[in-house]
Amino acid sequence: MTSDSLQPAYFDQVYAANADPRLFETSDYERAKYAATLAALPGQEYDRAFEIGCSIGVLTAQLATRCRYLLAVDVADAALARSRERCAGLPQVDVQCMQVPNAVPPGGFDLIALSEVGYYWSLADLHRSLDWMFGALRSAGHLVLVHWTPVVADYPLTGDEVHETPTDGLAPRVGAIGLASATRATASMCSRPLERQPHAVHEPGCAA
């Protein structure tokens, strides 16, 4: 496993090789995961939502049904083009190129969705991102995390490491769901913390 965050060039290569590299459009596993993600959201409608790592927009289009405004970002041009095409009939969706945490949007959000992205970051960048997310969440806002949990050689972190981090001095876990199988994704919901404690930045490669 690498200790550095994966960069846009990595994802450009992934999408150059396959327009739908994770079978987002056709996989039963992905379909069940999207349904579980939407079911985990406590709110029926969100005024302002932010999706980090929208890829080709399959989850984006489904989240949009629950949002008055949804900012969806990614770093891969090919993925962004597919997402814009898919969401062309959804005026509440704004698809942009943005590399979090190096760039973040202004304003506050009622919902932030981080699905299959956190393990692409180094531990330091994960902490930076989470610190920003909890600061950007409005009062009573929600953060949903959804990640594949097995070890992947290319990725700096595992899904489990990503999900363990928000509960360490940042926010309580208020609900969780899992898709049962040996190769599973977990989804965690976190509420905006009433108090935030300083979060130690671990050296790359160390466990959270």
H-run or E-run covering 190:
strand 185-191
Instruction: Reply yes or no on whether the pLDDT at 198 is more than 50.
Output: no
CATH number of the 8-191 domain: 3.40.50.150
pLDDT at residue number 202: 23
Could you tell me the pLDDT band of residue 1, with boundaries at 50, 70 and 90? low
Sequence spans of domains, the chain: 8-191
Could you tell me the pLDDT band of residue 2, with boundaries at 50, 70 and 90? low
Structure pTM? 0.83
Token pair of 107, please? 């304003």
pLDDT at residue number 50: 98
* 43-65 average pLDDT score: 97
DSSP for residue 131: H
pLDDT at residue number 188: 57
d(CA 58, CA 65): 12
More confident residue, 168 or 122: 122
